[in-house]
Structure 1
Amino acid sequence: MLTRILLIAACTIALSSSSHAALVINLNQVGAGVSISLSGSGTVSTGGGANPGTILNFDNFAAGNPFAAGISGSSTGSVFSLATPLQITGLDASNGNAAYISVLSSVRFDNDGVDTSDVDLVGDFSIGDGDTFLASGVSLVSGLSFADLNPGTYVTSGGDASDFGGLTLNVNASAVPEPSSCLLLSVGGMLSGLCVRRRKRC
């Protein structure tokens, strides 16, 4: 109950500062795997189709394909479960702004070429036209390899993205230290070790 109250309060505060912000999905490299985060707040556009059901579909990304070639053979249409569900907290405009929480339990990737590429969030939704929303959460994506993704930023208003003011998908590779940085870290580690050894002798 307390969690629900805090989420509603956070939703109200965020919406007071932003009347219509787009959704953002980040796919971040974690070792060989991937984590996903969801953010954004605003108002679901009217006329965009109420209550999309169990799937939020985002497709037709601009500026390339977020999927590497390998995903078409190994992961087309595959559903990957999330270790921790993502959430969209909403206020139902048609029901006196009653609060609800939509739980997103998995993500699906479809690279069939029919409508370029799809990123689908799968879960239990109660989203309608005119509702205000706050998207949140971070989770590991079970079974997805980062090698199946193309790093970059992709934007779309296709599918259900239009209802939320658009979607930005960021595929982020983990930062790899430059050789000079690695050298400095190594030297620093050696000096620290020498200092410790000297103190022990004293």
Structure 2
Amino acid sequence: MLLSQAQAEPAPLVIPAPDRYEPTGNPVYGAGTTGVLERRESATAAALGDYQWTTYGGSATFAGSASDTVTATASDIVSAAFTDRVTLKDMKAGTSTALTLPAGQLFKGSFGDAVLTATRDEGGAINGLHILRKTADGLSDTPVTGLNGWVERYDTVLGGDTRSVAIWYAAPDGTHGVGLLDLESASVRPILPGATGGAGARVVFSGTRLAW
């Protein structure tokens, strides 16, 4: 049987192309007891913004400029370093402390209230580590002991918490591995002799163990 009337053509459906096909980036750079240090990518600019501290309740606070070296290691204290100036921000207490690195020292990371720095020899190799802390009288500068001629292998710092830092080492005789720096005693000892890895290698800490 023929239809008496032709069916109406459906209206065309137009789906606009999205601005992007991937979700915006949101890398996390560290975490403490009250929140995480992160950056968010703009959906339009496709670039990461400044660092922010986001509490586990969801509120966000500016933590550091994109032009700074910003870190937070197992602590609510965020460090923002630019040239020879380091600012330690206690995101839980809402306070901050600024310090200036001694001449010739390079910022390598912060771990709670401790700032780890390094010195270089004339050839540019790491030849010493220092632990800096702000005190009522100014700045304490404690040289790290136990290196015994070790020099930097790849990047110095592999990971840490408020008690210890894992570092690469390469001895003058060519042996290498991972050492553990105790931030309280400012001494370092080998823990993974012979370990190898590239510049992106990391060591992760728990309360009693570390993972390589």
Name the TM tier (shorter chain).
under 0.3
The TM-score, its normalising length taken from structure 2, stands at 0.22
Q: Which has the higher strand share?
A: 2
Q: Which has the higher helix share?
A: 1
